[in-house]
Amino acid sequence: MMASNSGLQLGVTLFSFTNEFHSRQYTLEQLIAKVAELNLGPGIEIVGFSSVRGFPVVTDEFAANFKELLAKHNLKPACLGLNADMYKNPNKPMTPDESLAYHEAQLDATAKLGFPVGRYQFLAGTDVIHRLLPKAERLNVKLGLEIHAPEHVNSPIVMQYRELYAKENSPYLGFIPDFGSTARRVSPAFISYFRQLGLPEALITLAEEMWLSKDDPNNPTAKIPEFQARAKAAGFRPVDIAECFIVFGLFSRQQPAAWREIMSQIVHIHGKFYHFNEDGSESAIPYEEILPVFVEGGYNGYMVSEWEGHFLCDDGGFAKVQKHQELCRRILAGCGAQNAVTS
């Protein structure tokens, strides 16, 4: 099943196969071949520093071989993940000029590998992105800021970039929604993980209840001090309390409809997922509500499947991505989306 040339098209980030790659079960070339074999494209996203030896330096030979490999398997470059790495030296953060040079080198690599979008991070800062924009325009590469939980479309830091974008009014500045920002509960994958660690059930329940509380639902990290205080007062160990902090940073409760505010500036999507219900739906992220927002909003571009469960277990990612794309195709077919139909 191939995607159409317009509308929301499916793909995958190789980040989903971190366990396979880090355990050396697959090389980069073998991962790409497996993606094609399982029909998980056509869009491909990679993270520069984890996928390309020597990145951001990309040799002519590597670039040519990479493009030939994608063409051979009828896959398309969708997005390249860039890093900010402001604290490579923990004792001395990069200066703005150093960060600009760091991003320029990665942008050159993005263009050389044929990716139309470079995903950047909040730590880049609006000044660096402002100065990077002319180069992005020359290279014909869009810069996409990933809006990742705990942030959302109206977070103060996101608003800084929205203001920059409004001022620049350039089609080369955009956003990359991550669906972890649009969750309805803490993923059961994390609850299972906490139980495997042997954390007290009452502590897990406290974390879940506080995440679900109506107090400041769009700012889950603001709940951490209260969670810490209540857990400490209840006598839980600091090391166990610290394990639970992650749920306040990886999931937030923005309503799916909020993505409409920035729809015209969305250049790529991270279809984050962790766990499925028995009926095949995602347990914490309401895809049946999210995907219609993008179809109805006229989004044209890739949504890559991003399984982040390798943080929690040693499972392989291929079967999970297959299940995720089956879910997405069912929902898209129900929306009448063209890319849900075999071409």
Inter-residue contact 130 to 164 (CB < 8 Å): yes
Residues of the chain with pLDDT > 70: what percent?
96
- Domains of the chain (ranges; CATH) run 8-185+253-340 (3.20.20.150), 188-248 (no CATH)
Which of 103, 148, 152, 270 is an active site residue?
148
Q: How many Cβ atoms from other residues are within 10 Å of residue 20's Cβ?
A: 20
Instruction: Classify residue 111 by its DSSP letter.
Output: H
- Round the CA-based radius of gyration of the chain to a whole number and report it: 20
Q: Which residues, 6+ apart, have CB-to-CB distance to 26 below 8 Å?
A: 17, 20, 34
Is residue 337 helix, strand or coil? coil
The answer to whether residue 268 is catalytic is no
The 10s digit of each residue's pLDDT in 43-74 is 999 999 999 999 999 999 999 999 999 999 99
**Calpha distance 222→228 (Å, rounded):** 11
CA 205 to chain centre: 27
Q: Provide the whole-model pTM.
A: 0.94
**Calpha distance 210→74 (Å, rounded):** 46
User: What is residue 127's predicted lDDT score, i.e. its pLDDT?
Assistant: 97
Q: Which residues, 6+ apart, have CB-to-CB distance to 247 below 8 Å?
A: 186, 190, 207, 208, 211, 220
Phi and psi at residue 271, in whole multiples of 5°?
A: -85, 75
The 10s digit of each residue's pLDDT in 183-240 is 999 999 999 999 999 999 999 999 999 999 877 667 888 899 999 999 999 999 999 9
